Amino acid sequence: MVGYNWNVANKTMGDDYKLVEVTATSVSPAVGSAISGLFDQHDPRDIYYQMDGHKIRIYVHSLDLVNFTSVAKHIKNSYNNKQITHLINDIVENIQTIGSYGIKGGKRLYVGYNSERKVKDRKLKEGTRRYTRRASVNIVSNTLPETYENRIICGDSLKVLRKLPDNCVDLIFTSPPYNFGLEYESNGDAHKWDKYFEQLFAIFDEGIRVLKHGGRFVINIQPLFSDYIPSHHIISNHFLKRGLLWKGEILWEKNNYNCKYTAWGSWKSPSSPYLKYTWEFVEVFAKGTLKKEGESKNADISGDEFKKWVVAKWSIAPERKMKLFDHPAMFPEELAERVIKLFSFKNDIVVDPFNGVGTTTVVAQKLKRKYLGIDLSKKYCNTAKKRMQENTSP
């Protein structure tokens, strides 16, 4: 059952509404009638809802909470039904728990009550800035098919992602294969760089398509030193051209100082000094809006973690178990943990289209996220599945 009390197709939501989600235990006609009766008493420009199966999504801009509570009480008394009473109470309580709001015209104003006072015509200015121009994004989320939920799939990421519906994934975190002469079973990396980026961007574009409005795309990448190719810039430019919003760049400091000074370039001469990096880049992009909606109870990052991790230089030791898992270029679980906890909520769907031996999916499972990992290598997929099983063993 899908119900609306406002023409969503003709309304732009974006950051103009606060999202509240409630689950109904029953979707009987009486429940639908009660919910419709509750919201029909209010201006749909202030508050409206979508009902998709058991999920009720409530979009609230401003609200006379006293009046809303009074109408809710009347609805409960009219139906005298325990399921309806419980559902109405859930709706009211969830709206009451929104702690940040302003007051305007006797109503609680849940969005724009602070920022709009600071910068005149802020929204207009944001929309006209060249590098923050947003792509046209469908804001309605879809459900990831069950056949892809909590799965490790051995196959071509491009083909697998093409089977997924639009807007069904919350977070994509991946580290694409590098061309450093490493022997990747899943990618020989012998093709020219233009072919490499062409194939990579085809996969990224499918990832952008399946990402939800407000979802994040996070890429761990470093320059391709061997051929002096600034891959982190090339990739970032591609996402900007596709209309994604740049949310930030994290420096993953690996503290790796073991490279020999004379391995490349000139020694004690300006003729061709070789610049060494002890860090890698983590580029973060958002689709449609910089703000991701989610229930506060599903945010599992602690205060200390948040304060530490929003400083965008992370000192994390490299993965030490690459020989154990027989993979030449793994990132550590701590990196995945920080990305997943900082940029997603519990129960969100996390995807890695270059899953390798499964670090992203292992951590996603530990953190109570749903996951989908894809890789061409059967050997790596088997290792990933084994890690997942060990992760769930008592």
Of 185, 175, 221, the C-alpha closest to 327 is 185
**Token couple for 354:** 């270059």
The domain segmentation of the chain, as residue ranges, is 2-128, 146-392
Give the model's pLDDT for residue 162. 95
Q: Please give the model's pTM, rounded to 2 decimal places.
A: 0.64
Query: Which tops the pLDDT comparison, 75 or 255?
Result: 75
- What strand order describes the sheet that includes 245-253? 151-154, 370-375, 349-352, 169-174, 211-221, 279-286, 245-253, 313-315
Q: Give residue-wise pLDDT tens across range 306-353.
A: 999 999 999 998 767 766 665 656 788 999 999 999 999 999 999 999
- Average pLDDT of the chain to the nearest whole number: 83
- What is the percent of the chain with per-residue pLDDT over 70, rounded to a whole number? 80
The beta-strand segments (E) located in the chain are 2-4, 18-23, 47-52, 55-60, 62-63, 102-104, 107-109, 151-154, 169-174, 211-221, 245-253, 279-286, 313-315, 349-352, 370-375
pLDDT-based confidence at 98, cuts 50/70/90? confident
AA letter at 245: L
- What strand order describes the sheet that includes 55-60? 2-4, 47-52, 55-60, 18-23
**Dihedral sign, Cα of residue 154, residue 160, residue 161, residue 165:** negative
Of 104, 164, 132, the C-alpha closest to 15 is 132
> How far is Cα 169 from Cα 137, in angstroms, rounded to an integer?
14
> CA-CA distances (angstroms) from residue 18 to 94, 105, 292?
11, 18, 10
Burial class (CB in 10 A: 0-12, 13-18, 19+), 262: exposed
Of 46, 35, 184, the C-alpha closest to 111 is 46
Q: Give residue-wise pLDDT tens across range 121-176.
A: 555 554 555 555 555 667 788 999 999 999 999 999 999 999 999 999 999 999 99
Give the model's pLDDT for residue 120. 52
> CA-CA distances (angstroms) from residue 299 to 340, 347, 359?
11, 10, 21
Burial class (CB in 10 A: 0-12, 13-18, 19+), 113: middle
Q: Which fold has domain 146-392?
A: Rossmann fold (3.40.50)
